[in-house]
Amino acid sequence: MGTDVDRHYSTNAETSRLARTPHGRLEFLRTQELLRRVLTTRAKVLDVGGGTGVHAEWLARDGHSVHLIDVVAAHATAAATLPGVTAVVGDARGLPVADNSVDVVLMLGPL
Ligand SMILES: C[S@@+](CC[C@H](N)C(=O)[O-])C[C@H]1O[C@@H](n2cnc3c(N)ncnc32)[C@H](O)[C@@H]1O
């Protein structure tokens, strides 16, 4: 991935994106509501482009096993500090994950 992507996501405060505006808070709550509706049993979740772990954090707290991949190293590093979350640097276009190795794949944002 080129440095433009890195610069774009590094300068747009990913950690607070879903908290600093009413639209962001609505997106967070609606996403959480929809995911909780379908994730009714403990699941192995792959959060692709998961940023600093805004969804990974509560998913892990809900009891799911969460592995996050993000192309920006600082995001993966921040996410890896969250309890119950593992995280690595990686590109959605070539996931470093075996086929059929997770129950759920999230891709919220990178597209
Ligand atoms: C708009 S943020 C969304 C973060 C989080 N999923 C959310 O819903 O708030 C997009 C994230 O995708 C990451 N990203 C962008 N292109 C990516 C790619 N090709 N592979 C992996 N991550 C990517 C960015 O670094 C950023 O953390």
Environment class of residue 32 by beta-carbon count within 10 Å: exposed (0-12), middle (13-18) or buried (19+)? middle
For the chain, 111 residues long, give each residue's pLDDT as a single digit of tens. 557 878 778 766 777 888 889 999 999 999 999 999 999 999 999 999 999 999 999 999 999 999 999 999 999 999 999 999 999 999 999 999 999 999 999 999 887
What is the reported pLDDT for 87?
Answer: 98
For the Cβ of 5 lying below 6 angstroms from any atom of ligand 1, the answer is yes
Q: Kindly report the number of other CB atoms within 10 A of residue 100's CB atom.
A: 6
How far is the centre of ligand 1, averaged over its atoms, from the C-alpha of 29 (Å)?
A: 18
Is any atom of ligand 1 closer than 6 Å to the C-beta of 53? no
Neighbouring residues of 104: CB distance < 8 A, sequence distance ≥ 6: 39, 43, 44, 45, 46
Full set of structural domains in the chain with CATH: 3-107 (3.40.50.150)
Tokens of 42: 């403990």
- Distance between CA atoms of 50 and 55, rounded to whole angstroms? 7
For atom 1 of ligand 1, which residue has the closest CA?
Answer: 109
